[in-house]
Structure 1
Amino acid sequence: MKYLLFAGFSSLACFTAHSLAADPLYAISAIKADKTLLTDIEFNGDQLVAVGKHGTVITSPDAKNWEQANVPTQVLLTAVNFVDTQNGWACGHDATIINTDNGGNDWQLQYSNATLDKPCLDILFKDAQHGFAVGAYGMFYETHDGGKQWQKRFLDTLLFEDDRDYLNDLKESDPQAYEAETASILPHFNRIVATNEKLVLVGEMGLLAHSLDNGQTWQRDDEIYPGSFFAYGINEQNEELVAGLRGNIFSRHGDVMWQPIENIKTATVNSIIHDDKGNWLLLANSGVIFHYKDSQLQVEQLPDGKAILDAVIFEQQLVMASENGIKVKRITP
């Protein structure tokens, strides 16, 4: 997911809620929880919900007054996603997945596995039952029951052809080595996004992939850049942006080929959002906000120079999750 942090299918395991997790340690209550490292933020229709360091989850109805939620983990949380005003999920290090059914005020532990030593980097639910959690070294979990059970999947169609052939041979000759290789041969999956027509997955080593059947099968797109992607967005005009390491940004419209956007600022892009007027905002390291519209890229840099991990547009304000907490910036018409 965030740079600051770090059509085949085979089912390897199915984990139930709390599987492989010891008794959870609850997030420590902090007086200034809105000033700590925050990695993701979302507006669920009722209130803003942000997640971050040491299991911190904070909520606010107005972007001014923030309350810390009751959270059964102390790991770094990396992503949050809501399907409605009440039901949401968050994920983080130690493959931790938590959920809420009261809008983000209280959370329950669904899954955690410290022995796996892999962070979950993004989480996406299509509805209250069907969701995905993705992360380091090809981590890909799927649930069809709201997270009561998470099924681990290995997306071998996203391998390069030589790697796929190597694994097929290894599976026959040395099953134990095969299992070990599948744990690390895929690149990091940094972001999973749902559009009206497809699911999109972006990640390390130029990974850009899509699924047209709700995640059942995946196809790797032609490589347009060998470095890591951390962010993807699409607007109502079917314009797509993908961005990542060192300010590399690409755009396309419809079925045309991806085109690089000229950019002299090398700040890594962490997230992409857009408003209803066709303005793209790309949130980046070093306090950089890229503004993109009508093929023109402009650069804004906040004075403190702190990484911006994500943001939402809320009541004519840009509410940002950053490495030193919540930042609010008025949006000029």
Structure 2
Amino acid sequence: MRNGFLSIVVLIAAMLPPFALRASPLQVVPAVQSEHASQATMLDAVWAGERVVAAGDHGIVLLSDDHGKSFRQASSVPLSTPLTGVSFVDAKRGWAVGHWGAILVTADGGDSWQIQRMSNEEDRPLFAVHFFNAQQGVAVGLWSLVLTTEDGGLTWTEQTLQAPPGSKKADLNLMGLFADGQHKLYATAEHGQVLLSEDEGKSWRYISTGYEGTLWSGAVLADGSLLLGGQRGTLMHGTAEGKDFRRVPTQSKGSVTSVAVSGGRVLAVGLDGLMMKSSDGGERFEESQSVEGLSLTAALLDPQGAPVLFSRRGVLPTSSTGQ
């Protein structure tokens, strides 16, 4: 999952005033099949069993059955609006979210999708989605929008958040979602805030990291601690209870868009080609840059611990990752 956020398209949407979201009713147009699909901006990527599923701009979904070496476009996606988050519970069943509050579902590993929810009158984007199992899921987005489902997405319930400390209303943009193995779900947000839910998204409490900028991404490390990615090269490391956050030293000022964890291997990537790798569970990081400094938008680690990278120009070839 999410999460990972963001492209410039989504950043602009997150900054729009309320009146700007109301536009002409959306005309639902399916994603177009393109021989250049692998060059589209990808905004999130996950494993669906042994398959990589990535989603991004223009409703494009990419699939790889060789651990990211080659990709093909999904055969049927009913929307051509940006898809910003994706989550799978097994090799077949998954969900994607995006602009216009869209939620899509697939039962064949991402090859074909159907609409479960969307708003034709108001573009209030969803930025991330996480499913705990085939029935229970959570989606989050613009201005503290939180939706939960108990029936696999057939129906969604909007949850009301309390205002964060020092604020009069809950209006933070919720950028990403990530979970541990015990049904604790975290949402990264603005103003250095992380939200924690221990009841599948029905109620939340705020965790302050001491950081004042926007947190775009995060992950639970092998030891149960949290690694959070934010603006201008910010990496924050702290406990699962939200204590003792410290800033991990970085040289780059590229905002951290995605954090991937596989055992003791950790990879954080971001804008301006930022890449930070750790092989000791996040204790120490080696910092590098992607070829040409291309901004990275999502990342996975394959079974051998090698990165599978996505960018504003689509899939990044393996030869460009420095491996």
Which category describes the TM-score, using the shorter chain as reference length? 0.7 to 0.9
Letter in 1 for 2:290: L
Partner in structure 2 of residue 97 of structure 1: 103
1:305 pairs with 2:293: yes
C-alpha deviation, 1:97, in angstroms: 0.8
Pick closer, same or farther for the CA change 1:254–1:80 going to 2, 3 Å.
closer
User: Aligned to 2:5, which of 2, 6, 15?
Assistant: 2
Q: Could you say what the CA RMSD is over the residues aligned between the two structures, in angstroms?
A: 2.1
Contact 1:191–1:203 at 8 Å: present in 2 too? yes
Q: Distance in 2 between matches of 1:215 and 1:109?
A: 22
| 1:58–1:222 distance in 2 versus 1, CA, 3 Å | closer
Q: State the 1:23 CA deviation.
A: 6.8
| Matched ranges for 1:63-82 at <5 A | 63-69=68-74, 70-82=76-88
Deviations 1:11-70 (A, max 9, x none): xxxxxxxxxx97731101101211111111112113211111110011121123322111
The answer as to 2:160 corresponding to 1:154 is yes
Measured in 1, the distance between the counterparts of 2:221 and 2:165 equals 30
Structure 1 residue 223, shift from structure 2 partner:
4.1
Note if contact 1:95-1:112 (Cα within 8 Å) is conserved in structure 2.
yes
Corresponding residue for residue 19 of structure 2: none
Structure 2, unaligned stretches of length 5 or more? 12-24
Aligned to 2:212: 226
Identity over aligned pairs, percent: 26
Structure 1 segment 102-251 matched on structure 2, within 5 A: 102-156=108-162, 158-163=163-168, 185-197=170-182, 198-251=184-237
Match of 1:49 in 2: 53
Q: 1:195-237: CA deviations, max 9, x gaps? A: 1231111111212121223323211113411110011111222
Contact 1:318 1:328 in 2 (8 A): no
Cα deviation 1:102-154 (Å, max 9, x = unaligned): 11110001111142222110000011111111011111111111111111122
Pairing 1:283–2:269 present: yes
| Secondary structure of residue in 1 paired with 2:30 | coil
Q: Is the 8 A contact 1:308 1:321 kept in 2?
A: yes
Local SS of the residue matching 1:226: coil
Give 1 or 2 for the bigger CA radius of gyration: 1
Q: Tell me whether 208-217 or 302-311 shows the greater mean CA deviation.
A: 208-217
Assess if the C-alpha contact under 8 Å between 1:3 and 1:268 holds in 2: no
Shift of residue 298, structure 1, vs aligned partner: 2.3
For 2:270 and 2:177, locate their aligned partners in 1 and report how far apart those are by CA, in whole Å. Answer: 18
Unaligned runs of 5+ in 1: 7-20, 165-184
Cα deviation code 1:252-286 (max 9, x no counterpart):
2566511111223111001111232x232101011
Indicate the SS of the match to 2:77: coil
Match of 1:323 among 269, 292, 312: 312
Corresponding letter in the other structure for 1:150 = W
* Cα deviation, residue 248, structure 1: 1.2
How far apart, CA to CA, are the structure 1 residues paired with 2:293 and 2:32? 27
Judge conservation of contact 1:142–1:150 (CA < 8 Å) in 2: yes
Change (3 A) 1:303 1:109: same
Residues 1:39 and 2:43 aligned together: yes
Structure 1 residue 290 displacement after superposition: 1.3
Aligned residues: 297
CA distance in 2, matches of 1:284, 1:132: 25
Match of 1:15 in 2: none
